[in-house]
A and B are shown apart, each in its own frame.
Chain A
Amino acid sequence: MDNDPHKDRREAERQEARVKIRFATPEALEKEYTSNISKGGLFVNTRKTYPLRSKVKFIMVFPISDEVVELTGEVVHVQEPRPDVDPSQSGIGVQFIDLTPQKRATIENYIARIDKRGQADEPELAEFGEGEKEEPAPTPQPQKKTEFLKDAIRRAAKEMGELSPTELVELKRKIKLFYAKRANRNHYDLLGISYTASPESIRNAYHKLSLNFHPDRHHKRLPPDLRPQIEDIFGKINRAYKTLRDFDSRVEYDVSVGNWGSVPNIPELSEEAKRLYQTRNIFAKQFPEKIERADEILNEAEKALEIGDKHEAVIKLKLAHSFDPFNEKARKLLEENGVKVKPLAEIEF
């Protein structure tokens, strides 16, 4: 950092720059990872400039354990330092070229397991070195007194029943995972069950998720800022379960999402409902590609409807219907758009 900037720039142009990023705290890494790195990129706040499209090698040093992950990125965006712009806004946007599943796993594992002892109030990216220089001498250790105080506060927090840093990381990871993998899926995927799940296994899945996410399972240990998320997640789990628990509302829901592929394992399923499920089941087995194609076309049709292209939509709906006559959604949309369709009972294949 003490070098002449012009020299740096010339070097950077010639050869791959090397940047060492040391994260001050596991939270800082976690935050950066979830908001940026996991999506394949990173914005590095620096007053030094790099040419667009140049390659930069990042050495990410994890706090506490000093584990390292190396990533190579390409500069895709440059924000030159300007006197009229807040210096925190200047820097480079980097797209990683080699964020392999292994590297992801290394980072994720670290986040999941690390105990955040020794966290300090330092900026998110503590250090930013460049070139092949050695990493500058570590910042002087925090004064023993403050360290002692922090420790005392941590212990007091634990006494009061607050989450330990590890538990907190684990909880945040769970929340993040839920939002990433389940929150916006259909009720079955949200609860992590199959379409044919029996009432009992639906209930068990619900209980399992509740044991994970109900606010009482964290009680007063729950940091106030996480409570709304936890309550929101619990609300979603609840809604999904309440819909699938009741037989009638489950069938209604199945129809609404076009889930006609299987006979659910419900003892009290009516004969008619069973027949429809079975018919569709046989159909699906015989023509899986037809159903898949129907779904695709239906998607396109819905998009056409969204932008108001009714003509296009009807053509696609008819096509989807001919591929999969049991697709309730296609039938419904066709009827809504004034096209008559044969009743299910009359369909032969």
Chain B
Amino acid sequence: MASHKVNKTIKEINERIRKGLAVVVNARDMIDIVRDLGKVAAAGEVDVVTTGTFSPMCSSGLLFNFGQEPPVIKGAKVWLNGVPAHAGLAAVDAYMGCTEPVKGDPLNKVYPGRFSYGGGHVIEDLLRGKSVHLRVEAYGTDCYPRKNIEKDVRLADLPTAMLLNPRNAYQNYNCAVNLGKKIVYTYMGPLKPKAKNANYATAGHLSPLLNDPYLRTIGLGTKIFLGGGTGYVLGPGTQHNPKPPRNERGVPECAAGTLMVRGDLKAMNPRFVRGVSILGYGCSLALGLGVPIPVLNEDVAWYAGVSDADIAVPVKDYGHDYPNGVGRVLKKVSFEELVSGEIEVEGVRSATVPLTSYTLSLEVADTLKQWIQNGSFTLTEPQEAIESQ
């Protein structure tokens, strides 16, 4: 690696944070700083860039322990408010996936299904301090004779409750249109026929992994903002793609890197953890996630200066291609065009629709900035890199 003009360590940055001297900016403000000062001066000036995203994030869930009371039990089937959890872990451990619908949900029998309650909603209810009905069935053993539990529990009653998310924070994502003749209801939202709308889901210049496209500062052990509390990166998420095609700025031109993360639900804030119902598709969890990027050198500063114009998003057809596993990219549009409100697809003017909340994404980045400025959040050294080329 070429030697840099600016060289900082996370340890030095943490010293500055503790002394209240660190210069922390959000990823939106970093665009102009890099543009105006140049990357070397920007790296000298800024210590940390805070990023943020708030979006539905499937592949999230709650790992919880519901505790024992005599006679003890080895749960085989577990439900919270009627939503099944995976119980094949241990005696009283279970995992509630955010997309799991409540038992008896009509699903898509009445199309498009409403999916009004599921795992994500259970997680939000617990976090809001609501009481949730726990039902456990067991077959009974010599050491665990109890065969069932029926009781109401609150988050405070659960000995352990942590979000453990196999895949969050997708680095770039598709923009979805429907070239078919009738409306389709997808995980990317409703798509009107003849490409009348184009739905996209990334926070653009605020997005964590677009600000560090080669994941040079992010790895196992990186402390992050998760759901209004703190969490940690555990490594690459499922479906992590380390070798995507990239533009000249290193920004992946398709969905690429992902993170696996965890965080203590009890320390989170329901403003940033929302159960969602996606019409015709299913349940999920909308989650706020922010990564602090230590500006170790001018290259890190340069990447963190990414603007919406630098991000190319692939437009794909979800009417026919996506459901049939066809990877055709209709065209690439810049994130700046998506934000303008309209793009042109196959000769049609298509209204652009975000699924990611920009205002909440910015709030994530600014909250993280505040924590670092007031010294309550310091940075951690990644213990293992995440492959990214």
Instruction: Answer whether A and B are interacting partners.
Output: no
